[in-house]
Amino acid sequence: MLRRSVLANTALFAAALALADCAANVASFTPAQVIADAYGLVISLGSAVNGLVDTQALSADVAANIDRELQHAQALLTGISSSLAATASAPVVQEVEAAVASALQTLAAIPAIPPPYSTVIAAAGVVLPIIESWVASVIPGAPAPPPSAAPTAVAHGRRTLGIAVVS
């Protein structure tokens, strides 16, 4: 059941990847779109973390720390209205983005992540810079990913998912 859930979320991220490099202007994203993408990202990473514990690729203690951050992020996203203005929702999304970035940093230290979890984590690494870019476009002075981060992450994610990379 867990594997099926992870694969279903991966399929959603594959679709997001295909659209991600078409989205030249993240400032045009609505808060509802960003909140939905961030929610999918948090849920998918949570499923992957649980799967990594089951495969013994991740210790239960480390997984508990990541899970705590992701549950906090999920609670923030559940409590926010998608009808809020971008300026009102961006600080919440920024807090979620920080939790996801922390989880990805921890997961990056694992030497060999088995599929399908590696695919979910790679896809998360593609979606995260897009969310960071949206936050930076809404909140003046918010840190933005380096200009090359999103295209590089999209290309890496596309290769990982077996999607052609267009230059």
User: Does 9 map to a domain?
Assistant: yes
pLDDT of residue 38: 92
Domain that holds residue 124: 2-160
* Domain total in the chain: 1
User: Does 107 map to a domain?
Assistant: yes
User: Does 134 map to a domain?
Assistant: yes
pLDDT of residue 67: 95
pLDDT per residue of the chain (167 residues) written in tens, 0 to 9 = 455 555 455 555 554 554 454 455 676 788 998 899 899 999 999 999 999 999 998 999 999 999 999 999 999 999 988 788 899 999 999 999 999 999 988 888 888 888 888 888 888 888 888 888 888 888 887 776 655 454 555 555 555 555 555 55
pLDDT of residue 19: 47
pLDDT of residue 94: 92
Alpha-carbon span 141 to 119, nearest angstrom: 32
pLDDT of residue 124: 87
User: Does 165 map to a domain?
Assistant: no
pLDDT of residue 1: 43
User: Does 167 map to a domain?
Assistant: no
User: Does 142 map to a domain?
Assistant: yes
Q: How many CB atoms lie within 10 A of CB 10?
A: 21
pLDDT of residue 43: 93
pLDDT of residue 96: 93
